[in-house]
Amino acid sequence: MPKIISVGNMKGGVGKTTTSIHLAQHLGRKGKTLLLDADEKLQCAVYWRGGDYDGWTFEAMPYSEVRPEHTQDCDYVILDTKGNEQGDDLVTLAHNSALLIIPTKPDGVSATGLLRTLQPLIDAGVENYRVLIVANVGGRGEELRDALAEQGVPVMTSIVRHSTAVGDVSDRRQPLEAYASNRYAKLVSLDYGSVTREVLNHV
């Protein structure tokens, strides 16, 4: 049975697809990995993965098209959720996953939305989730991580820095590691490598 890792948040625009793509890219070096895109309208992850870069390490397909035979030989399945999930959706995701990752940005709006996202999980006694801070600028990410940890919220030690390179590689339909000429792209890719190592420790 594959280990299912879901990436979701009640708030949109928090790096969910970027996280899913790069987690899958790093996990693809550890074992057979499939990314399932649950956004029926935009299919951003499927489109991104559909680029002609030769170094992709995983496959991607719409969640609506998945069949048991697609996942039976996989070591890891990444679920890029549709976004704007409701609280009950996240609880169900956590129950059906080895780990639920909740990306968030360290800005006021996202932090406020994070509290709404986490409450149903806390109320349901869910423990197999981790908050991941992405698009960090300055020390805001570290401050948010430490504040969450002090409140007993499961939060990843790894933090993903902010870089406009993310938008560039999305347009190019490549992973960050392919943008060799951009130093910041490489650094963000290394951040996601650190995230992946943490994920493997939890699953």
pLDDT tens for each residue of 31-84? 999 999 998 777 899 999 998 999 999 999 999 999 999 999 999 999 999 877
| Domain of residue 170, residue span | 3-194
Is 203 part of a structural domain of the chain?
no
Contact 36, 80 (CB under 8 A): yes
Which residues fall within 8 angstroms of residue 13, CB to CB, at 6 or more apart? none
* Chain center to CA of 114: 15
CA distances from 175 to 57, 166, 170, 190, 203 (A): 10, 9, 8, 12, 24
Per the structure, how many domains does the chain have? 1
Is 34 part of a structural domain of the chain?
yes
pLDDT given for residue 11 in this prediction: 73
Under DSSP, the state recorded for 162 is P
98-140 pLDDT per residue, tens: 999 999 998 876 677 788 889 899 999 999 999 999 988 888 9
* Global pTM value: 0.93
Is 202 part of a structural domain of the chain?
no
Is 199 part of a structural domain of the chain?
no
Give me the mean pLDDT over the 86-103 stretch: 91
**Residues facing residue 7 across a β-bridge:** 80, 101
Distance, CA of 87 to CA of 90 (rounded, Å) = 5
Give the count of alpha carbons within 13 A of 118, CB side only.
22
Distance, CA of 182 to CA of 160 (rounded, Å) = 16
Q: Does the structure show a pLDDT above 80 at 90?
A: yes
The CATH number of whichever domain residue 58 belongs to comes to 3.40.50.300
Strand segments (E) across 52-202: 59-62, 76-80, 99-104, 129-136, 155-161
